[in-house]
Amino acid sequence: MDLYDALEGRRAVKHYDPSYVMPDAEIKELLRLALLSPTSFNTQNWRLVAIHDPKLRREIRAVAWDQSQVTDASLLLVLCGDLNAWRKEPHRYLKNSPPEFQEFIIPAIDAYYRDKEQVQRDEVMRSCGIIAQTLMLTAKAMGYDSCPMVGFDFSALGKLINLPDDHVVSMMIAIGKATAPANPHGGRLTVDDILVIDRFK
Ligand SMILES: Cc1cc2nc3c(=O)[nH]c(=O)nc-3n(C[C@H](O)[C@H](O)[C@H](O)COP(=O)(O)O)c2cc1C
């Protein structure tokens, strides 16, 4: 499936075949492609928690408005971000860059995020949003459907997955084989509704 078809075909699908097992090789390929997503300063600040344990799936469903995708999808990913990724061995993010670039950019990364909690949080949410869409489009291209999710108790989910203090949850993505089509679409705004040329009035 090409990108146009994946874009046109992706919908938020809510019902999945609970008996379908996604082969490990496909999960690995999906994640490999998802990691091609861009992040600011290449900090790759996403941390993806794959929920395999059926009991944990049921516990998450109980704090996620009883949404069946949580237990029935073949793959359930909790998209988290490390608020401190920018300062955890930043050379890792630049290991292929020329030394002179590293010397310039590493202090710049520090200056951009240090003592700026809102910027740190915004960055994690930006990164997770981008990787979420990569995951959903890649899943579609691989023959799967998906559902992005924020319909859950963030604090309860954080406890269930032992979320570290310096991480936040952005959303969940359920991926699997659909057993029912998505609900009729709510309707889309037009380009004229959302496009501003040059500046707001
Ligand atoms: C960040 C985000 C969170 C969402 N949370 C939920 C959710 O918890 N449960 C659900 O059924 N759909 C959820 N949706 C799906 C939206 O309702 C859906 O994307 C929207 O209606 C547009 O439909 P489409 O994705 O099929 O184009 C979420 C979508 C996004 C982007």
Residue to probe by mutation, ligand 1, list 8, 15, 147, most atoms within 8 Å of CB: 147
User: How many angstroms does the Cα of residue 12 sit away from the middle of ligand 1?
Assistant: 6
CATH number of the domain located at residue range(s) 3-194 in this protein: 3.40.109.10
* Residue 142 contacts residue 4 (beta carbons within 8 Å): no
Residue to probe by mutation, ligand 1, list 78, 136, 149, 157, most atoms within 8 Å of CB: 149
Through-space distance between the first and last CA atoms of the chain, rounded to whole angstroms:
41
Among 188, 70, 171, residue whose Cα is nearest residue 126: 171
Give CA–CA dist 73/63, Å, rounded.
Answer: 16
Which residues surround ligand 1 with Cβ inside 6 Å? Answer: 11-12, 14, 67, 147-151, 171, 182, 185-186
Strand order of the sheet with strand 46-50?
46-50, 75-82, 167-176, 145-149
Query: Per-residue pLDDT for the chain (201 aa), expressed as one digit of tens each?
Result: 899 999 999 999 999 999 999 999 999 999 999 999 999 999 999 999 999 999 999 999 999 999 999 999 999 999 999 999 999 999 999 999 999 999 999 999 999 999 999 999 999 999 999 999 999 999 999 999 999 999 999 999 999 999 999 999 999 999 999 999 999 999 999 999 999 999 999
**Which ranges in the chain belong to alpha helices (H)?**
3-9, 24-34, 54-62, 69-72, 99-113, 117-141, 154-160, 191-194
Can you give the residue ranges of every domain in the chain? Answer: 3-194
Ligand 1, atom 9, residue with closest C-alpha: 149
